[in-house]
Structure 1
Amino acid sequence: MTRFSNDLVCTRFSTTLGDMIATASDKGLVGLWFHDQKHLPEQLSPDLPSPIWPTDDQHPVLQKARQQIREFFAGTRSEFDLPFDLSAGTPFQQSVWQALLGIPKGKTTTYGALARSLGKAQAMRAVGAAVGRNPLSLAVPCHRVLGQDGSLTGYAGGLHRKTALLQLEGALSPALSKN
């Protein structure tokens, strides 16, 4: 289970695919979510009377994250050069998230191939669940993981965003995305 500290700071900003929320600790970027995606931390629940994480638009990691995300959407950045703090995940989740970092821009893999690369061939569902709980959308490229048959499945930010991200990266032609 993913557990986030209450000692984080956050910022909110807009992208071409919707508003995002980024959080950071003193160790690095902890979270990067679309505001309406599945699996948002409870600290970001819209039902809370006030945010648990204070806003800090001047935090250096959050400033750098916003800049790099702008560059990513402009097509001038393929990888993120940020310190990541993945400590909210279990050791297994962290290993899956680290493996996602090895999928280059413009390439995709499947949940099965990812499980095999981790030496956990029989744990495809657990790998899929860890991919789905990735707290660093875009930066840790979970959108590059496809179903066994190459189908677009399971993206917490929505399949419309997964499609757009893969098209932006050149991993999916517009014609294929209509299937």
Structure 2
Amino acid sequence: MTEIADLQMPDDADTLRRLTDRLGRAAEAADLLDVAYRTVDSPLGRLLLAATPRGIVRVAFETETEDEVLDELAARVSPRVLADARRLDPAAREMEEYFAGRRRDFDLAIDLTLVMGFRREVVQLLPTIPYGRTASYAELAAMAGNPGATRAVGTACARNPVPLVLPCHRVVRSDGTTGAYRGGPEAKTALLQLELAHL
């Protein structure tokens, strides 16, 4: 009989990936997987994508540590969080198409569990800003029916749990400068330039 101490983690990354995928499939088949996640490479660095059965719930940049994002998901959505690439294959494919300039809008179901109240109203308006265009925080506040809430709009954009999918990078200051962004100001500028290049 093999002692537990004799068991070793596979040192082959491919074997580990296959075992993780197998565990994810088994958990999903047994309805034990509430939040699936995976990482994808992008021109902005590695992105973490997470989804519930209702839709994509989180997109995280490299500026956010994976452990912190997974802890947030476990605390605020469900502790049943597991790597499972298959659930996120459509999101990964759409991200790739977006960064290649072949996609302007995302066709993904979105789970807004992580955003409430006025912030939810704001992020739901973000897809109305056309690809390659921008709106100011003040314009978005007016669109949300609260013209005096410019600062609250800025906070909603800064805490948008699904950037890119809900394009908060298209919201800028009234003077045209980019303003803050969850992925950093360089990422926001790069996304705006990417969209302008593919108009």
Q: Contact between 1:87 and 1:94, CA under 8 Å: does it hold in 2?
A: no
Question: Helix, strand or coil: the match of 1:105?
Answer: coil
Q: CA deviation at 1:44?
A: 5.8
AA in 2 matched with 1:84: I
Q: Matches of 1:42 and 1:138 in 2, distance apart? A: 19
Is 2:34 aligned against 1:7?
Answer: yes
Report the structure number with the largest CA radius of gyration. Answer: 2
AA in 2 matched with 1:43: D
Pairing partner for 2:54 from 27, 32, 54: 27
Q: Matches of 1:106 and 1:21 in 2, distance apart? A: 24
Pairing partner for 1:137 from 138, 151, 163: 163
Q: CA deviation at 1:53?
A: 2.4
AA in 2 matched with 1:31: R
Q: Matches of 1:37 and 1:161 in 2, distance apart? A: 13
Q: Matches of 1:16 and 1:44 in 2, distance apart? A: 25
Q: Matches of 1:128 and 1:137 in 2, distance apart? A: 13
Q: Matches of 2:150 and 2:40 in 1, distance apart? A: 34
1:76 matched to which residue of 2? 102
Q: Contact between 2:70 and 2:81, CA under 8 Å: does it hold in 1?
A: no
Pairing partner for 2:63 from 11, 21, 36: 36
Aligned CA RMSD, in angstroms, stands at 2.1
- Paired residues, number: 158
Change (3 A) 1:52 1:161: farther
More helix by share: 2
Q: Please report the TM-score for the alignment, with normalisation by the length of structure 2.
A: 0.74
Q: Contact between 2:135 and 2:170, CA under 8 Å: does it hold in 1?
A: yes
1:56 matched to which residue of 2? 84
Q: CA deviation at 1:42?
A: 6.2
Q: Please report the TM-score for the alignment, with normalisation by the length of structure 1.
A: 0.82
Structure 2: where are the runs of 5+ without partners?
1-32, 74-78
Structure 1: where are the runs of 5+ without partners?
1-5, 46-50, 172-179
Pairing partner for 1:161 from 165, 187, 190: 187
